[in-house]
Amino acid sequence: MATQSELTLADYTFPAARLRRRISTPARTPLVLIACGSFSPITFLHLRMFEMAADYARFNTQFEVVGAYLSCVGDAYKKTGLVKAEHRVNMCSLAVAQSSWISMDPWEALHAEYLETAKVLDHFNYEINEVLGGVETGEGRKKCHIALLAGADLIQTMSTPGVWAESDIDYILKNFGAFIVERTGTDIDEALSTLQPWKSNIWVIQQLVQNDISSTKVRLFLRRDMSIRYLVPEPVVQYIEEHELYDDDGAASTGSRSGKGKGAEGGQEAKPAGEAGSSGSGGG
């Protein structure tokens, strides 16, 4: 497989190999889950989100999951702690290498400019429903429902003035909707309070085993020379070691300390590891 550093948009092809092209229950609506984020680095919780969402969809909705994608933000996002896109894409690819249904799509990360999430979801809709023509049901073809998969902190940022364009929130929640995984430190009711007009397109998933891993904590452990084993997949541990990522603040990173609505994590570095805050709006 070409590493992301060798890939350019010119030779990009949509990764469709793990997308199930035939639905097993024709009455159901095929669903593809898209997790957008920094993934700096990817953790087991990010992977676990897909499993939680698939269970939730199976037991509580009329959807049938036919595929799932990780999409890393590009370097222009310039969030604190963001290592270069090529590393994040490579780590995500390693993390899903053994998965039969989760893929890594480098398209967003290959862009030099920042791409809003609405555009990223449009890309998946185009590739899956327009180019590939959706999925076969046995009774004809059906378009897939493309949905955003995110943690509660991300949906909370939709209520934070200035982070998202109002028109994008409407566009995303009307046309795609979101599967939201509860997250320690985020009040889900509060996070959803301003999103009531779209509530029929927002599915909230309880974490039955509370898991508070965050990339921020993983980076903090690495800077303190502490183990991150069993917080992130082993090939990702090895990749981080090989490339000496996150050893110090800024090395191999995109360089900025602030980005689209994101602050520095310097304050957290001063705290003992156990007190490091959660990420996202709570402290990412």
Ligand X SMILES: Nc1ncnc2c1ncn2[C@@H]1O[C@H](COP(=O)(O)OP(=O)(O)OP(=O)(O)O)[C@@H](O)[C@H]1O
Ligand Y SMILES: O=C(O)c1ccc[n+]([C@@H]2O[C@H](COP(=O)([O-])O)[C@@H](O)[C@H]2O)c1
Query: Site residues (CB under 6 A) for ligand Y?
Result: 36-38, 73, 79, 116-118, 154, 157, 163-165, 168, 260-262, 280, 284
Which parts of 67-106 interact with ligand X (CB under 6 A)?
81
Q: Under 8 Å CB-to-CB from 49, ≥6 apart: which residues?
A: 35, 149, 151, 181
233 binds, among ligand X, ligand Y, none (CB under 5 to 8 A by kind): none
Burial of residue 150, with CB atoms counted within 10 A of its CB: 0-12 exposed, 13-18 middle, 19 or more buried: buried
C-alpha 211 chain-centroid distance: 16
Would you count residue 183 as binding ligand X (CB under 6 A)? yes
Rounded to 5 degrees, what are φ and ψ at 44? -65, -30
Give me the least distance between CB of 79 and ligand X, in Å please: 7
45 binds, among ligand Y, ligand X, none (CB under 5 to 8 A by kind): ligand X
Check if the beta carbon of residue 50 is closer than 8 Å to that of residue 102.
Answer: yes
Give me the least distance between CB of 7 and ligand X, in Å please: 21
Which of 151, 205, 236, 239: binder of ligand X (CB under 6 A)? 151
Beta carbon nearer to ligand X, 135 or 158: 158
Find the part of the chain contacting ligand X (CB under 6 A) among 33-41, 55-63, 162-170, 243-251: 33-41
What tokens appear for 36 in the block? 């957008």
Which of 134, 177, 233, 280: binder of ligand X (CB under 6 A)? 280
Find the part of the chain contacting ligand X (CB under 6 A) among 157-165, 167-175, 198-206, 207-215: 207-215
Would you count residue 177 as binding ligand X (CB under 6 A)? no
Long-range CB pairs of 229-234, under 8 A, 24+ apart, other chains included = 230/44, 231/43, 231/44, 232/41, 232/42, 232/43, 232/44, 232/95, 233/42, 233/44, 233/47, 233/94, 233/95
